[in-house]
Structure 1
Amino acid sequence: MIDYVSTFIFFFAVIDPIGTVPVFIAATGHFDEKTKRKIAIKSTLFSALILLFFVVAGEVILTSMAIPLSAFQIAGGIVLFIFALSMIFGESKPEQEVKLATNSNETAIFPLAVPSIAGPGAMLAAVLMTENARYNLIEQTQTAAMMLAVLVIVLILLLCASWTHRIIGNSGASIISRIMGLILASVATANVLSGIKEYFTL
């Protein structure tokens, strides 16, 4: 039996539903409200499918390629750190990424589903929290349920993003984005350091 509260908090931290809101606002600014709702639903669904894939097959893929989890953790941390830097020094979302999203489906996949919601940290968490050697099938199912519960919160926040944006405005969204970027950079650095430590203690 897993600790539901700690597992939920862990996934809430790595998925960061609140930090996704500024990204959503920036990436969907040129769409109407109906399209924004569709994008919110699609991006959350895509993220759920991606993370569930890592729950089921992530460890198998890494093992078959002889890639230690520590290496995946380091790589994920580096990618996460680069993404965090773009949040800190760029706009609330880098202009080039927003320009690449030319339609609603593309926007739902990139930059929202990946790397904002189902980012490297979330993928890594999905793998580490469901290791076959440490957790049985029931515990893995419980962990997946907690992960999906966090994604439900993500969906609710994205559906309310326009209302939130009217309150905080562009400046508020930019400030939140930079603060979350700094926190994300710290998490990324911790992931890299933890991965390095684990690799050299194997």
Structure 2
Amino acid sequence: MEHDFLSAFIVLLIVTDPLGNVPVVISLLRNVPRERRLLVITRECLIATVMLLLFMLVGERLLQAMHLTNVSLEIAGGVILFLIALGMAFPSMGVSFASQTTEGEPMLVPLAIPLIAGPSALATVVLLASRQPDRAWSWTAAIVLAMAVGWVVLASADRLSRRLGPSGLVALERFMGLLLSAMAVEMLISGLHRAFPALAPLAAQ
């Protein structure tokens, strides 16, 4: 499955899931003074951005060190994304961090990692870099733009929660889960076709 800037941006925006993280951010920052919340969100988004960029840069070397091919990563990534999509569309099947609370400010865990830069986001950037290494600048721009949009959403968490309400947030979360599931299936099909070229003519029938 070949990606361009726009599709990479959309995938990264969905897998980092800023809308789904709104209730979690509100819970995690409940004990943080209101005047410091924007600073904490900004810091955690920057940490997550650095982690994604780092994985993008060392992704190919990581695959080689672990003796993995980008085909296996594409198939595994499709499976992971599909499971995440199921969790978004059907919350009872997903993993939630909403029950985790901290006495002070969250630092690195769990906001930056794994809520923003989670396994699915890290696997996505590694896959992008390994499949199309010549488009590193496009992937960098997609990561930065996706994280910027995520920062705007998380910085507006209190207002979004009040305006959309619980039902509105759930509806958006499930819609994004539907989009992600379609992308995950496409990634799986692409990986299987590359692993088993003989299946391609059969799938076209």
TM-score of the aligned structures, taking structure 2 as reference length = 0.76
AA aligned to 1:191 is M
Deviations 1:10-46 (A, max 9, x none): 2221112697233221212322444542443233223
The aligned residue for residue 104 of structure 1 is 106
Counterparts of 1:35 and 1:201, CA distance in 2: 54
- What residue ranges of structure 1 are gaps of 5+ in the alignment? 1-5
Deviations 1:83-118 (A, max 9, x none): 111111116x744x3224646222313442232883
Q: Does 1:121 align with 2:124?
A: yes
- What residue ranges of structure 2 are gaps of 5+ in the alignment? 199-205
The aligned residue for residue 47 of structure 1 is 48
Q: 1:37 to 1:116 in 2, by over 3 A?
A: farther
The aligned residue for residue 78 of structure 2 is 77
Match of 1:158 among 154, 167, 179: 154
AA aligned to 1:180 is M
Deviations 1:113-136 (A, max 9, x none): 23288353344224333x2xxx2x
Secondary structure of the residue aligned to 1:104 is coil
1:155 Cα deviation after fit: 1.4
1:22 and 1:174 in contact (8 A); partners too: no
Larger Rg over CA atoms: 2
The aligned residue for residue 25 of structure 1 is 22
AA aligned to 2:54 is F
AA aligned to 1:62 is L
4+ residue runs of structure 1 moved beyond 3 angstroms? 32-36, 100-103
The aligned residue for residue 3 of structure 1 is none
TM-score of the aligned structures, taking structure 1 as reference length = 0.77
AA aligned to 2:6 is I
The aligned residue for residue 8 of structure 2 is 11
How many residues in Structure 1 have an aligned counterpart in Structure 2?
A: 189
1:156 Cα deviation after fit: 1.8
Percent identity of the aligned residues?
23
The aligned residue for residue 65 of structure 1 is 66
Deviations 1:36-81 (A, max 9, x none): 4244323322321222122211011212322110101111111111
AA aligned to 2:59 is G
